[in-house]
């Protein structure tokens, strides 16, 4: 049975399940327009999830065939997975920020061998032990790479511009950090329950009521730029805090009112995490060694293989921020590179 919630003012959500994932589901928002419903995100590409989406749209009094357009907050498979099927069934356009579209294009074009070579080089540079890297040298074909052929969007979301939603005012706010092209969507209309505040904000994974989104390195085999995803994320948090929406409609969990309070919590969380990590850097550590010593939701020995890659990426994002703030530096001549507090 599809679970549909009416948020008022021509906005509903369908809880689309994410199979075998503790997150549980993606909230796919259905926004009425003069030309038919527009979806914000589509959910995981799985037959069961597809049926739930179709049932949910029926419960909203519409159908997949009626969808006018699809606005994607970011390229992750729990958000963009079903976009291709929706477009096939309806002829809807798909819109995404150019930085995430570039990742989609690369995922479609990169042969798995190239990807494994990139991951091997990256993990070696981060100081990963040989037993962690070895499986990448003899990978089973096409394992652990979800969404190998995600749909290529046909429209670009331009930050600051209104999207093409006839009869509605939906503006794109660029919020890089979780991914380089993550966007929040600001519905610049009075709250239907007359809550005070500046419209409503579809926040994707940028702002969630009880989850701290993963911030790791942007993964791009073709780009050698030293990016600062955590710095981007913290700036993006302040941007949506200043917007002061009456209500936040996130892509997971539940709707909540006070964006500014949640932004303050997340800023404080990252500040204390950076302080803790700097304290660990009294001795020089590789990113891998730092990840082993950081606090996670379980002991390092119990963290599965793929999650360790994510953890190291998160450690590196924090190291980049500390270096940029002048609170840590790379030890000259170290290989793999180690970092120490300054």
Across-strand partners of 21? none
Residue number, 205 or 292, with CB nearest to Zn ion: 205
Q: Toward Zn ion, which CB reaches closer, 313 or 338?
A: 313
In the complex with Zn ion, which residue's Cβ is closer, 86 or 285?
Answer: 86
CB of 310 vs Zn ion, minimal distance in Å: 12
Distance, in Å, from the CA atom of 106 to the CA atom of 104, rounded to the nearest integer, reads: 5
* Cβ at position 251, least distance to Zn ion in Å: 5
Q: Which is nearer to Zn ion, 7 or 75 (CB)?
A: 75
The nearest distance, CB 78 to Zn ion, in angstroms, is: 4
| Of residues 178-207, those binding Zn ion (CB under 5 A) | 205
Number of amino acids touching Zn ion (CB under 5 A) = 3
Which CA distances in Å does 66 have to 36, 57, 175, 224, 254?
Answer: 6, 9, 30, 43, 26
**Helix (H/G/I), strand (E/B), else coil: 276:** helix
Residue closer to Zn ion (CB basis): 76 or 122 = 76
Least gap, CB of 206 to Zn ion (angstroms): 9
Q: Are 62 and 77 in contact (CB under 8 A)?
A: no
Q: Which is nearer to Zn ion, 23 or 340 (CB)?
A: 23
Residue 41 touching Zn ion (CB under 5 A): no
Nearer to Zn ion, 45 or 205 (CB): 205
As a whole number of Å, the CA-based R_g of the chain is 21
- Taking CB positions, which residue lies at the least distance from Zn ion? 76
Nearest residue to 288 (alpha-carbon basis) of 234, 334, 326? 334
Please state the closest distance from residue 26 (CB atom) to Zn ion, in A. Answer: 6
Residue whose token pair is 């089973």: 140
Q: Which positions from 235 through 254 interact with Zn ion, judged by CB under 5 A?
A: none
Q: Which residue has the tokens 């507090």?
A: 341
Residues 255-314 that bind Zn ion (CB under 5 A): none
Q: Write out the binding residues for Zn ion, residues 126-185 only, by CB under 5 A.
A: none
- Beta-carbon count within 10 A of 290 CB: 25
| Residue 59 Cα to chain centre, angstroms | 28
Helix axes 229-243, 305-324, angle to 10 degrees: 80
> 13 and 7 in contact (C-beta within 8 Å)?
yes
C-beta of 91 vs 146, nearer to Zn ion: 146
- Tell me whether residue 167 is exposed, middle or buried, using C-beta atoms within 10 angstroms of its C-beta: 0 to 12, 13 to 18, 19 or more: exposed
Q: Which parts of 46-85 interact with Zn ion (CB under 5 A)?
A: 76, 78
String of DSSP letters for 253-286: S--BS-HHHHHHHHHHHHHHHHHHHHHHTTS-B-
Taking the complex as a whole, how short is the minimal distance between the CB of residue 242 and Zn ion, in angstroms? 23
145's tokens: 């790479």
Least distance from Zn ion to the Cβ atom of residue 107, Å: 14
**Minimal distance, residue 161 CB to Zn ion, in Å:** 23
Which residue, 127 or 180, has its beta carbon nearer to Zn ion?
A: 180
Q: Parallel, antiparallel, or unpaired: how do β-strands 11-17 and 25-31 relate? A: antiparallel
Shortest Å distance, C-beta 252 to Zn ion: 6
Residues forming the site for Zn ion (CB under 5 A): 76, 78, 205
């Amino acid at each position: 049975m599809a679970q549909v919630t009416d948020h008022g003012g021509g906005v509903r959500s369908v809880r689309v399940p994410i199979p075998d994932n503790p997150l549980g589901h993606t909230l796919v928002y259905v926004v009425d327009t003069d030309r038919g419903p527009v979806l914000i995100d589509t959910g995981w590409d799985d037959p069961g999830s597809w049926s739930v989406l179709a049932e949910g749209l029926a419960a909203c009094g519409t159908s997949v065939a009626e969808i006018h357009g699809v606005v994607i907050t970011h390229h992750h498979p729990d958000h963009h997975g079903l976009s291709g099927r929706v477009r096939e069934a309806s002829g809807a356009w798909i819109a995404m920020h150019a930085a995430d579209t570039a990742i989609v294009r690369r995922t479609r074009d990169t042969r798995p061998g190239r990807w494994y070579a990139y991951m091997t080089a990256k993990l070696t540079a981060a100081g990963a032990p040989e037993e962690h890297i070895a499986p990448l040298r003899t990978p089973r074909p096409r394992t652990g790479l979800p969404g190998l052929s995600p749909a290529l969007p046909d429209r670009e979301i331009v930050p600051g511009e209104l999207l093409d939603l006839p009869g509605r005012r939906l503006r794109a706010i660029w919020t890089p950090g979780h991914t380089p092209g993550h966007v929040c969507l600001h519905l610049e209309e009075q709250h239907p329950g007359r809550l005070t505040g500046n419209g409503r904000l579809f926040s994707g994974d940028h702002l969630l009521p009880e989850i701290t989104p993963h911030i790791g390195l942007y993964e791009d085999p073709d780009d050698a730029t030293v990016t600062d995803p955590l710095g981007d994320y913290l700036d993006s948090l302040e941007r949506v805090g200043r917007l002061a929406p009456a209500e936040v409609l996130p892509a997971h969990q539940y709707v909540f009112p006070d964006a500014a309070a949640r932004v303050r919590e997340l800023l404080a969380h990252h500040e204390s995490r950076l302080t803790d990590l700097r304290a660990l850097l009294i001795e020089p550590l590789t990113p891998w060694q730092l990840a082993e010593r950081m606090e996670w939701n379980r002991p390092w020995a119990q963290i599965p293989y793929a999650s360790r890659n994510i953890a190291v990426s998160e450690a590196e994002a924090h190291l980049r921020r500390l270096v940029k703030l002048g609170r840590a530096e790379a030890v000259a001549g170290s290989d793999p590179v180690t970092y120490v507090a300054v």
